[in-house]
Amino acid sequence: MVIPAAMRDQIVAHARAGLPNEACGLIGGRDGRAERFYPAQPDEPSPYYYRIESRDQIRIMNEIDEAGLDLIGIYHSHVSSPAYPSRTDSEQAFWPDAVYLIVSLAGGGADLKGYLIGESGITEEPIEIA
Amino acid sequence: MSTVRMPPILRQAVGGAREVDATGATVRELLDDLTSRFPAIKGHLFDDGGELNRFVNVYVNNEDVRLGEGLETTVTPEATVIVLPAMAGGSQR
């Protein structure tokens, strides 16, 4: 998955702005290239859990459709744990075609990684910053 | 007859279609019609008690039915019905 550097910076900024809670959002794109980043509202802000609020979810999905893009990524932050899917992330992954992006803010850093999560388990999807 | 837009995770179970037609006057009737024809999706859409799976959102004309009449929400033939699984997770303690 290719992410423009400016979008990576937006994602990290959104994650930091959400502290102490996790932040979440969607990424629209084409052919594995991210083109638009959509910050989303969580149902209930929490440092340990996110669920994109249902009205925000349909609003953003419609915006992605209307822009002629595909949903290619679902992003959230881990405020103090590594950028690797937790058990909750795996159990609540219902979008096998989307890359689950996790930005870890642990230790003050910003480590962004991507994963496909499906029936066959967790596969890291390389992120190219371009 | 209404059209129901299916998410990628359920498309294989409905023959690969992005949208499927279904009959029913309420969301429950529509989904019952779908699950009778495509039994593989039943476990995704409903919990053991026959209620909407808590990780599935259903929208009628872009309104989340859970915030209204739920499965009893009326569906007209012109309505757009969209099924979207939750986008959720987190580091969880």
Q: What is the ipTM of this complex?
A: 0.95
Chain A residues touching B8 at Cβ < 8 A? 95-97
Interface of A with B (CB under 8 A): 22, 24, 26, 40, 46-52, 54-55, 57-59, 61-62, 74, 76, 78-81, 85-90, 92-97, 100
Q: Residue A27 is part of which domain span? A: 2-129
Give A1's contacts (C-beta < 8 A, 6+ positions apart).
Answer: A29, A32, A33, A34, A72, A73, A99, A114, A125, A126, A127, A128
Residues A53-107: pLDDT tens digits? 999 999 999 999 999 999 999 999 999 999 999 999 999 999 999 999 999 999 9
Residue A69, classed as helix, strand or coil, is coil
Using pLDDT thresholds of 50, 70 and 90, give the confidence band for residue A20. Answer: very high
List, in order of start, the domains of chain B with CATH numbers: 2-85 (3.10.20.30)
What's the whole-number mean pLDDT along residues B16-26?
95
Residues A86-97: pLDDT tens digits? 999 999 999 999
- pLDDT at residue B43 greater than cutoff 90: yes
- pLDDT at residue B93 greater than cutoff 90: no
Q: Domain of A27: which CATH number?
A: 3.40.140.10
